[in-house]
Amino acid sequence: MSEPTIESVLHEARLFQPPADFSQQAHIKSLEDYQKLYDKAKANPEAFWAELAEQELHWFQKWDTVLDWQPPFAKWFVNGKINISYNCLDRHLTPERRDKAALIWEGEPGDSRTFTYAQLHEEVCRFANGLKQLGIHKGDRVGIYMPMIPEAAIAMLACARIGAIHTVVFGGFSAEALRDRMVDGKVKLVVTADGGWRKDAIVPLKEQVNKALADPATASVEKVLVVQRTQQATEMQADRDVWWHELEPTLSADCPAEPMDSEDVLFILYTSGSTGKPKGVVHTTGGYNLYTHITTQWIFDLQATDVYWCTADVGWITGHSYIVYGPLSNGATSLMYEGAPRPSNPGCFWDVIEKHKVTIFYTAPTAIRTFIKMGEDLPKARDLSSLRLLGTVGEPINPEAWMWYHRVIGGERCPIVDTWWQTETGGILITPLPGAIPTKPGSATCPFPGILADVVDLDGDTVGNNEGGYLAVRYPWPGMMRTVYGDPDRFRRTYWEHIPPKDGHYTYFAGDGARRDEDGYFWIMGRVDDVINVAGHRLGTMEIESALVSHPAVAEAAVVGKPDELKGQDIVAFVTLEGSFSPTEALGKELKQHVVKEIGAIARPGEIRFADALPKTRSGKIMRRLLRGLAAGEEISGDTSTLEDRGVLDRLREGT
Ligand code: WTA
């Protein structure tokens, strides 16, 4: 693990108060109100969450016990019966809300669809009946490998409705990555599309599924349900593949929501860690429903008339929690966009905001940095006056990008919520509440009520103000992951054993460095493990190394992140070659392409550096700290006395 280091933000002194008119109508109206909620939750977390669960959600049957905590395994709302699809749809079928837009969708080529709550309910019921007809039962795993089209959200809600466990795989992942996830999750059915639009090109998703399922290891997959999106040809395998548009007309729109146990698994979502293959993060029903519901409501300050747009892909946790479940559970209007800024339409985000009068906009710092580079003219040419709140997620936002976002997109009137969280946490843990907490550019500010966040050292002691440490959480919360799918031991080792228990409290280790300033504000300093964050996408260096060494030319590989102006970090791979291969530009290209094939384009190394040896300690461990320094072009200082062969370092520096 690397030591967290304090960055230049240490001296950030700008403070932005919530605008008075915003606070007046907000759910949480003042710092005092936040403090009261925070104190109340801290004094009795179970009572705090139980009160909200009762007030905010529909339960078929009430729980007996709020929290059963057998560290590190938590159960929330034990014996409660609930269905998140019911909470997202059925309970909004009131005369006032049934005709309100639940989902507004914009396709990349300019097509557009809107679903009211009544229509979305109907579609989801039909889809759920389709799943049933194809042999899916409660507890079965369903893979979802989709473009950003409404059917992706519909498939998720349909699974939840009948108690099938969804595992969404980002459409940018390769056939190989898809195969690994289908095998690990023992998936029974895959929902996909013929293709999807990505930056003016068609991604042939069904072809990737065909490739993935050609591997006999995926034998658990019995059926593939294919939505038609791009109309290009695909080979349909008889007995296995079914077109959605052929199945749909045969299905009834009546499908009651299955009462699920609060702790029944809702979904598995794979994410990268510092060791081994991506792990299946398991989230369950009741706690996740409550946590995503209340965080969406308070952090995005949802009001009845808002048009809320989160630009994430449903393949990531942000899409799960803050495009689908959180907003719909609140009866909000959630916008979903298939496209991304691209050379043929760099201003497309601003077009979407203007067209749909978006009021809340939630995106990633890497996108903001790209907008900055494209210049102010694009957003200025559009009417963005409908916006009232902005958010960011995925990586630390540098104060200057924050200021640009505030000034150019927010017109200096919109508060910004910089939200820190992870796939594992289910929902946002550290964030401003926009009507209550004054913001400082670059700080995610304060813990959400009920979240006992801390900055600690490896003994579990809280470090002093403005000292770097490890970000940790001292008490369970309803949205937390429950385990690693099929590997509870890995769950314990990864998150609960880095920090020893303190006063009987087990401590969740997030894998991020942080510091807390004199006002109690958190400043997140990035990962302290071997996870890198490239354009807001989380990747394990080990995964990329495994991909590289699976190429016949590669003997050994070490992957590190280097600072990148746009992406936050870029991937640099140090590679040594097998005897008969020589380092050529063509081989470098081939290796990059090989990583794309093994994982997906998001993992393409920015740079391959060939070396005759990697710097190792005498015990044979690769000295990543040195490689990180080299990748960043820094002078290598500090202790290199454990280095086995000092000549290696000189040769690497010279770029052999
Ligand atoms: C990083 C994404 C700084 C962090 C929701 C975390 C952030 C990882 C922020 C989780 C933020 C996320 N400020 N860093 N506001 N939000 N991160 O699982 O390193 O894809 O551990 O979840 O993203 O990435 P994941």
Residue-wise pLDDT tens digits, 250-292: 999 999 999 999 999 999 999 998 877 899 999 999 999 999 9
Which residue's CA is the closest to the ligand 1 atom numbered 1?
Answer: 395
Q: Is 195 in the pocket of ligand 1 (CB under 6 A)?
A: no
Residue pair 307/386 in contact by the 8 Å Cβ criterion: yes
d(C-alpha 574, C-alpha 571), whole Å: 10
Question: What is the sign, positive or negative, of the torsion defined by CA atoms of 387, 432, 23, 332?
Answer: positive
Q: In what helix (H) or strand (E) does residue 272 lie, and over which residues does it extend?
A: none
Which residue's CA is the closest to the ligand 1 atom numbered 6?
Answer: 422
Q: Is 511 in the pocket of ligand 1 (CB under 6 A)?
A: yes
Minimum-distance ligand 1 atom for the alpha carbon of 316: 20
CA 189 to chain centre: 23
Minimum-distance ligand 1 atom for the alpha carbon of 397: 13
Q: What are phi and psi of 372, to 5 degrees?
A: -60, -45
Q: Is 123 in the pocket of ligand 1 (CB under 6 A)?
A: no
Which residue's CA is the closest to the ligand 1 atom numbered 22?
Answer: 422
Residue pair 553/591 in contact by the 8 Å Cβ criterion: yes
Q: Is 524 in the pocket of ligand 1 (CB under 6 A)?
A: yes
- Cα 526 to ligand 1 centroid, rounded to whole Å: 8
Amino acid 637: pLDDT: 63
**Residue found by looking up tokens 């790209």 in the block:** 370
- Cα 420 to ligand 1 centroid, rounded to whole Å: 6
Q: Where are the alpha helices (DSSP H) in 300-339?
A: 317-319, 326-329
Amino acid 656: pLDDT: 42
- Cα 394 to ligand 1 centroid, rounded to whole Å: 4
For residue 161, give both structure tokens. Answer: 């409705």
- Cα 607 to ligand 1 centroid, rounded to whole Å: 24
d(C-alpha 318, C-alpha 295), whole Å: 12
**Residue of 325, 397, 420 with the most ligand 1 atoms within 8 Å of its CB, for mutation:** 420
- Cα 203 to ligand 1 centroid, rounded to whole Å: 27
Partners of 82 in the β-ladder: 260
Amino acid 651: pLDDT: 72
Which residue's CA is the closest to the ligand 1 atom numbered 15?
Answer: 420
- Cα 218 to ligand 1 centroid, rounded to whole Å: 31
**Residues of the chain below pLDDT 70:** 1-11, 636-642, 644, 646, 653-656
**Residue of 524, 537, 541 with the most ligand 1 atoms within 8 Å of its CB, for mutation:** 524
Q: Is 533 in the pocket of ligand 1 (CB under 6 A)?
A: yes
Return all residues near 407 (Cβ < 8 A) that are at least 6 apart.
Answer: none
Residue pair 321/292 in contact by the 8 Å Cβ criterion: yes
- Cα 433 to ligand 1 centroid, rounded to whole Å: 18
- Cα 505 to ligand 1 centroid, rounded to whole Å: 24
- Cα 617 to ligand 1 centroid, rounded to whole Å: 31
**Residue found by looking up tokens 């040419």 in the block:** 381
- Cα 442 to ligand 1 centroid, rounded to whole Å: 13
Amino acid identity of residue 341, one-letter, is P
Which residue's CA is the closest to the ligand 1 atom numbered 5?
Answer: 422
- Cα 353 to ligand 1 centroid, rounded to whole Å: 25
Label each residue of 123-156 as H, E or C.
HHHHHHHHHHHCCCCCCCEEEEECCCCHHHHHHH
Q: Is cis: bond before 109, omega within 30 of 0?
A: no
DSSP SS3 for 532: strand
pTM for the model: 0.96
**Residue of 421, 440, 534 with the most ligand 1 atoms within 8 Å of its CB, for mutation:** 421
Residue 84 exposure: Cα atoms within 13 Å on the Cβ side: 36
Instruction: Give the tens place of pLDDT for each residue, 104-120.
Output: 999 999 999 999 999 99
Partners of 336 in the β-ladder: 105
Amino acid 654: pLDDT: 62
Q: Compute CA distances 239 → 159, 207, 208, 221, 245, whole Å.
A: 22, 17, 18, 12, 16
DSSP SS3 for 210: helix
**Residue of 268, 418, 422 with the most ligand 1 atoms within 8 Å of its CB, for mutation:** 422
Residue pair 72/480 in contact by the 8 Å Cβ criterion: no
- Cα 326 to ligand 1 centroid, rounded to whole Å: 18
Q: Is 421 in the pocket of ligand 1 (CB under 6 A)?
A: yes
Amino acid 648: pLDDT: 77
d(C-alpha 359, C-alpha 353), whole Å: 8
Q: Where are the alpha helices (DSSP H) in 425-513?
A: 488-496
Amino acid 276: pLDDT: 74
Closest CA to 548 of 574, 524, 521, 579: 574
Which residue's CA is the closest to the ligand 1 atom numbered 23?
Answer: 394
- Cα 164 to ligand 1 centroid, rounded to whole Å: 28
Label each residue of 53-93 as H, E or C.
HHHHCCCCECCCEEEEEECCEEEEEECCEECHHHHHCHHHC
CA max distance for the chain: 76
Amino acid 275: pLDDT: 76
